[in-house]
Every structure is written in structure tokens, then in C-alpha cells.
Structure 1
Amino acid sequence: MATLLLVRHGRTTANASGILAGRTPGVRLDERGTEQAARAGARIAGVPIVALVTSPQERCKQTSKAVLDAQVAAGRPLLKPQTEKAIAECDYGEWQGRPIKELAKDPLWRTVQAQPSAVTFPGGESMVTMQHRAVSAVRRIDAAITAEHGPNAVWVAVSHGDIIKALLADALGLHLDLFQRINVDPASVSVVRYAADRPYVLSSNTHDGDLSWLTPPAKAKGRGSRKPAADAGAVIGGGAGPGADGS
């Protein structure tokens, strides 16, 4: 299957002021967040991507633009971003727009930390629903991209902290109640491959470093496209890393 780069949006004015933005309109990247998005875009520019899917929230669209602009700067065609409501921010209901320090005093806060699967935000959605919609959408899109572009294709999804944590928990085979053990910072890049046997988390919450090792291998003359090594199953002992088979 294809390889997915999960990108969280850069820091926002709400992040910086300790407000739970949720789906509040008009929440944009602050100066630092704009710089973070540009840096993430520059890292991803080392890899040719075939598609970019974004949450409808403005901060994600801004981050998506930085990623796509960096692709163009690297000499690649301009891609049109696809908006996907299923990877939108969690619907926090009545919690939306309130200070984090205030929410931390709510009895529900402890449940959010210890047993997210039991949480339904007042006037909003449950965390189980949040995970289900995001996982279903990402797996569906990944399968479609693989069918169109082949198993070596790389694509990007720009979303939110809790959404990406829920996707990583699913890929790691973790119960949702353990997803708070995963950290996803602003403008971080995580890498998942949905292989035929199971998902593989190739990296998570990265901020720096070369991503060109994800570049699809060139087709050998007279041969078909090589399948990613992970599709053959996990290598006992850990393997020799990307490109070790001569690619």
C-alpha cells in the first residue's frame, strides 16, 4: 500500500494562548506556526507526493499550502489539496473555545486522560466516533491512492493533534484508552504505511531530519514497480533499513 505522511498543523494563536480551539472559525497560524509549517514543507519537499488531503479547518489549510508550495519550489507540479471532513478537528461541543486550565478542573478531564473511549464531549462527539471516522477515511483514501498510483506512492494528510494520535494508536494496535501516551506536536510529521498484512508506523512526531528515504524507487528496466519492503512482513531482528535491498 501507499505511504502516508501525517502532518499536524503549525502552532496557532489558540495554542499559544491555551485555548481549546476545536472547530472555532478563524483560528489561524501565528508567526511561529507559519515558520513551523514552512519547515515541515521543506522537509517533505525531499519526497514527491501524489496527493494532499486536509482538514477543513483554516490552520490545516494554511499548513497544507506551505507543504504544496515547497513541492512546487522543488520542481514538482502543483497539486490541488483535497478537503476531507472526516479528518476535521474533534467536535468538542461546549468545551470548544474555553481555556485549557479551566477545562482541567472539569471532572470529565480525568476521563479524557485515563479512559478516552468513555468520553462524549457535552454537545459534541465521542472520542470513539472521532477515531472511527478518521481511521475509516484514511484507510479508504490510502487504498484509492494505492490503486491509482501504485504501492510506492506517498501522500500527505494534514490534520489535528487528537486526530493524528487516534490514527497512530490504530496503526500501532493500541486501544483508544492508551492514545494519550502518544505525543503529536505542531507541524510534526509521522509516517504510516498500511500494508496488506497490517499497518506499519515508520516514524512519529518528527520535527527535523531527511525524509528523502521515502522517495519511491525508480523502476528497473523491464521490471514492474518494486513493492515496499514492509509489505513482505516485519524483518526479524529489525532489518537493515531503507534501501538495503539495493534500491
Structure 2
Amino acid sequence: MILVRHGRTTANASGTLAGRLPGVMLDERGLEQARKAGERIAPVPLALAVTSPMERCQQTLSGILDGRVGEAVDLPKVVVEDGLSECDYGEWQGEKISALTRRKLWKSVQTQPSAVTFPGGESMAAMQARGVEAVRRHDAAVTAAQGDSAVWLCVSHGDVIKAILADALGMHLDLFQRLHVDPASVSVVRYGEGRPSVLATNTHAGDLSWLAPNPAAKKGRKSSRRRNDDAVVGGGSGPGDGLDKV
């Protein structure tokens, strides 16, 4: 699973917590960030593309997929997934971040997010639960349909992606603020038979072609079991060594 946060928005640039407000769009820098993320992902065949319903995420996905038009690759099916929507910040949305830092609840958001419910909104624990359920459901469906080497794309929001990464890392939600997920950054998670493996977090550059399935594997072919997720003692020799396909 390739996780991409939406590109920079007008709200990000002005220091405003957009939340689920309508009409929050990518600014010029955000559009460029989405295009560059698309260039990185272009060498990887995508079995599916799933996006938050928020406009900024759908814009980002369009920017990523636009570079594939005319290429000798099939565009993936696109699914809009409510479970990957922005956290419902309730009364906080639309407020300036600088003002929110003075709220009593701000400290809890930083140190004990598992106990936080935004006034008039949802809890951070509920946000994590729905986000994790959504990506695991889509991952299982892609694996069942196209095999355990299939790669799919997920476009969502900073806190949602951090919560998904925390789950994959086995981190308590109260530690998820240690993670950083910048606009249009790319993170990669593989859900194995026994445990998830986090292959990359918050990356902005670099070749992603190593994620492409082995050309020798037939499209749609299913393995008898999921890819081995055992850790190689000593760290292994990196992508392409074949040890992750044992």
C-alpha cells in the first residue's frame, strides 16, 4: 500500500485547520507536489486507487494519475472511501492553529490523543479505527483479487495516515505524534501474513520502481499464502533480493 497525503492547500498555507470544510483546494505548490508524487509512483502498476472524499485528496489523486494518461499502463479503478476522510475536528475546524495551541485540549492532543474527543466532533481513537479498518479491508480485497504482489494507492490526510502508520508499527496512538507526514509525502506499508511491515515513511524523493511486482508473476495470480513477512537477520540485501518472496 502506497500512502500519500494530499498536497499543500490554501488552508495549510494560511495556518488554518481545514477539517471537513468544503472548498479547501490545493494551492499552486500543492498541485506541483501532487505532480511530483505522480512521477515517483508512475513506474509502479497500481491495482487500485482509494481516496478520501475531500476535494484536496481527489485533486491530489488526479495529479498523481494524470501522468499515466497515454502510458502503456492501465489506469486503476478509483474508489472514494469515507473511512479515509479527514478527522472530524468539530468546533476546531476553520480555526487558526495559532489560536488552537492555546486551548487546554491542545496539550492532550499532543500527549494523550487516545483520550481526545474534539468538541462537536469525533475522537482520535475513532478516527484511527475507521482508517485502519478501511485500508486493511481494501488491502485484503486487492490481495484476494490480484495476489500478494499487487500494489495499491491510498490518498488521505495527515492525522489519518499517521494513525494508520502507528497501527502498522505497533505503536500506541498516544505515540503517533512522533510521526511526521508532510503534504504529498509517500509512505509504504506491506500487510503480511503475520504482521505489517513499514517500508517507508514521509518520503519526498527517490525511486519507487522497486515496488513494482516481479514481471514474471502473472497478473491476477494468487499465492497459496501471503508474502513471507519474516525479518531477515542482519537486514538483508534490500529490495529485489527475493528473500521477501520466500
Whose relative contact order is higher, 1 or 2, with alpha carbons under 8 Å and at least 6 apart? Answer: 1
* Runs of 4+ off more than 4 Å: 224-230
Q: Which of 22, 40, 59 is equivalent to 1:25? A: 22
Percent pairwise identity: 62
CA distance in 2, matches of 1:220, 1:202: 21
CA distance in 1, matches of 2:77, 2:124: 30
CA 1:12/1:227 → structure 2, altered by over 3 Å: closer, same or farther?
farther
Deviation at 1:226, TM superposition (A): 7.2
1:160-171 equivalence runs, <5 A: 160-171=157-168
Secondary structure at the residue paired with 1:35?
Answer: helix
1:121-136 equivalence runs, <5 A: 121-136=118-133
Deviation at 1:46, TM superposition (A): 1.3
1:8 correspondence with 2:5: yes
In structure 1, list runs of 5 or more residues that go unmatched.
Answer: none
Deviation at 1:79, TM superposition (A): 2.9
Secondary structure at the residue paired with 1:72?
Answer: coil
- After superposition, the C-alpha distances for 1:23-68 in whole angstroms (9 at most, x for unaligned) are 0000000000000000001100011111100000000000011122
Match of 1:95 in 2: 92
1:194 correspondence with 2:191: yes
Deviation at 1:229, TM superposition (A): 9.8
Match of 1:119 in 2: 116
1:81 correspondence with 2:68: no
CA distance in 2, matches of 1:44, 1:62: 16
Amino acid in structure 1 at the alignment position of 2:5? R
CA 1:228/1:105 → structure 2, altered by over 3 Å: closer, same or farther?
farther
Q: Which of 23, 48, 58 is equivalent to 2:55? A: 58
Amino acid in structure 1 at the alignment position of 2:129? H
TM-score scaled by length of structure 2: 0.94
- After superposition, the C-alpha distances for 1:72-127 in whole angstroms (9 at most, x for unaligned) are 34321233421000000000000000000000000000000000001000000000
CA distance in 1, matches of 2:214, 2:33: 29
Secondary structure at the residue paired with 2:67?
Answer: helix
Secondary structure at the residue paired with 1:237?
Answer: coil
CA distance in 1, matches of 2:12, 2:124: 20
Deviation at 1:231, TM superposition (A): 1.8
Amino acid in structure 2 at the alignment position of 1:241? G
1:38-53 equivalence runs, <5 A: 38-53=35-50
CA 1:228/1:103 → structure 2, altered by over 3 Å: closer, same or farther?
farther
CA-atom RMSD in angstroms: 1.9
Report the count of equivalent residues: 242
